[in-house]
A and B are shown apart, each in its own frame.
Chain A
Amino acid sequence: AQSVTQPDIHITVSEGASLELRCNYSYGATPYLFWYVQSPGQGLQLLLKYFSGDTLVQGIKGFEAEFKRSQSSFNLRKPSVHWSDAAEYFCAVGAKSSASKIIFGSGTRLSIRP
């Protein structure tokens, strides 16, 4: 069965510092992988996705993520965070089948220190 683990519940980084949010997944084949962001009081917005090909994926708002099959990881990175990046971040996994739903991790809350 598919599952996603985000080991960090809450992370605080200083504005301008680099960021890495961890995501580990469990799936038998090559999964579809996603990162979503949820700003306070809003729904989720897709940051980036990995289906196949280049394992380094570029997304919106300056985010990127790297798929590492050997580690079953899909960590999200940003070289320099802005105060507006404070939000909840969700990693998610799905399968290639049209019958596949997406499974979300429990989320990581990112706070930015001025």
Chain B
Amino acid sequence: EAGVTQSPTHLIKTRGQQATLRCSPISGHTSVYWYQQALGLGLQFLLWYDEGEERNRGNFPPRFSGRQFPNYSSELNVNALELEDSALYLCASSLAPGASYEQYFGPGTRLTVT
């Protein structure tokens, strides 16, 4: 069974540009979570989608947005990139919504903003 996949592996952008990150969950999983892992800050919860709907959102500005497609894959968009957006962005999926369902993580997309 294929795990959670993310693309691209690395992404280099300049300040002010937009970045699009993609995530494919494990087959059969309906919930997709996005996290930002900046150096020294642990995992910060960004967004949670389930069945195409946004279920929860972390304390991030509106320029962080995303969506979930009918096949449950997801996209994270970051507009007007700032230097501090440089981080590893992790996607996770779970079989159903809620903390009782294990989250399976992808390898991440390393975003570098110059």
Which A residues form the contact surface with B (CB < 8 A)?
32, 36, 41-46, 49, 51, 90, 94-107
The count of residues in chain B whose C-beta lies closer than 8 Å to any C-beta of chain A is 24
Q: How many A-B residue pairs have CB under 8 A?
A: 64
Judge whether B90 is part of the interface by a CB distance below 8 angstroms.
yes
A101/B45 contact (C-beta < 8 A), A32-B100, A51-B100 known:
yes
Please tell me if the beta carbons of B45 and A46 are within 8 angstroms of each other in the complex.
no
- CB of A90 within 8 A of CB of B99, answer no
Minimum C-beta distance from A50 to chain B (A): 11
Known contacts A43-B90, A104-B42; 10 further A-B pairs (Cβ under 8 A): A43-B92, A90-B42, A94-B99, A98-B100, A101-B33, A102-B33, A102-B99, A102-B103, A106-B40, A107-B42
| Stretch of B61-69, B71-79, B105-113 contacting A (4+ beta carbons < 8 Å) | B105-113
Set A43, A49, A101: member contacting B56, Cβ < 8 A? A101
Q: Smallest distance from the beta carbon of A105 to chain B beta carbons, Å?
A: 6
Chain A interface, >50% SS class: loop
Q: Are A99 and B4 in contact, CB atoms less than 8 angstroms apart?
A: no
| A106 with B108: CB separation less than 8 A | no
Q: List 26 A-B contacts (CB under 8 A).
A: A32-B99, A32-B100, A36-B105, A43-B4, A43-B92, A43-B106, A44-B90, A44-B92, A44-B103, A44-B105, A51-B100, A90-B42, A94-B99, A96-B98, A97-B98, A98-B96, A98-B97, A99-B55, A99-B98, A100-B98, A100-B99, A101-B56, A102-B103, A103-B45, A104-B42, A105-B42
Interface of chain B: mostly helix, strand, loop or mixed: loop
B93 to chain A, nearest CB (A): 11
The CA of A102 and the CA of B55, in the complex, are separated in Å by: 13
Report Cα–Cα, A48/B14, bound state, in Å.
40
**Cβ–Cβ contact B99 & A43, under 8 A:** no
